[in-house]
Amino acid sequence: MLSLAQVQTFLAVIDEGGFQGAAQALGLAQPTVSQQLRKLEEALGVQLVVRTRNSARPTKDGIAFMPYARGLMRTAGRAAAALAGRSLAIGASSNIGTYLLPARLHQFAAGAGTGIDLDLVLGTNPETAGRLDGGEVDVALMEWWDGRPGFNATPWRREPMAVIVSPKHPWARRRSVTKALLLDQPLIGGEPGTGTGQLLRKAFGRNAARLRVTMQLGSTAAVKEAVKAGLGISLVLAGAVAEEVRAGTLSALRLADADLAKELFVVLPDDTPATSPAARFAAALMA
């Protein structure tokens, strides 16, 4: 079995460019550094470092192992800090983390989270779920949850969706549109596999196949800019366009004959202690 000390030694050898530099950085004797690295290579069954007289460089296997090694060290550091009640790593889908969470983070940091180092990691829903499952984050804010065992997903809030159009679009002065009208419009985003795509399939049923999804831009910020440019319309979280609607750079409409809203979830591992920063943060969100 590999040990964290061995992993740390491997990274030091790579970062310092050799065994002597690693020994100095770690405060160890050079033979100890060599022994730690040799044990790690034996445990993994591969050579990680090419040794020369004055330097060291990673092998192909060493390069492949490096991100895992750094992840292990980050997780170990977070674990120690979390047990001491000093850190909290929060994973969130990009829309939640960008548009809905900052004010709540500020409130938590100023109150129940005083003295806790907060780390917010944004990503797609699958990325965030993977980080939570892998122990890289302590709590996750998700636009959907896949029900995997070992976790408790609690509904946090129901966020309405809005149809957004350019101020020059014929619908710009309308307050609502129907599902039938959307079938004739180029739709930016909402592709299968996304939370919005799941909502559209549920709302439109068989007619979902008739939606004209023209672009898959990967972020709400990019979608908003494309809509502003008149490239199509889109459906986004209403909270994600509040500033643009106030500024008049986008118009937001509701869907008159369907209640489109995303159920957002707070997800914690089942064994999260009630007194941990993660549990306290989740409780603050639900209050």
For residues 121 and 74, state if they share a domain: no
For residues 136 and 275, state if they share a domain: yes
Task: State residue 193's pLDDT score.
Answer: 59
Residue 155, judged by CB atoms within 10 A of its CB (0-12, 13-18, 19+), counts as exposed
* Regions in the chain scoring below 70 on pLDDT: 80-85, 113, 191-193
What residues make up the domain containing 153?
A: 85-157+263-286
- State the total domains in the chain: 3
What is the CATH number for 272? Answer: 3.40.190.10
What is the CATH number for 26? Answer: 1.10.10.10
Task: State residue 76's pLDDT score.
Answer: 80
For residues 242 and 153, state if they share a domain: no
DSSP labels, 97-112? IIIISHHHHHHHHHTT
Looking at 31, 57, 81, which one is the last position of a domain?
Answer: 81
| Angle ∠(201,165,216) on CA atoms, nearest 5 | 50
pLDDT digits (tens, 9 = 90+) for 94-152: 889 998 899 899 889 888 767 788 889 998 888 999 999 888 899 999 988 888 999 99
For residues 200 and 278, state if they share a domain: no
Task: State residue 81's pLDDT score.
Answer: 64
Q: At what angle do helices 4-16 and 30-44 cross, to 10 degrees?
A: 110
pTM of structure: 0.66
Location of structure tokens 């919005």: 196
Task: State residue 184's pLDDT score.
Answer: 79
CA 174 to centroid of chain Cα atoms: 35
Looking at 41, 56, 81, which one is the last position of a domain?
Answer: 81
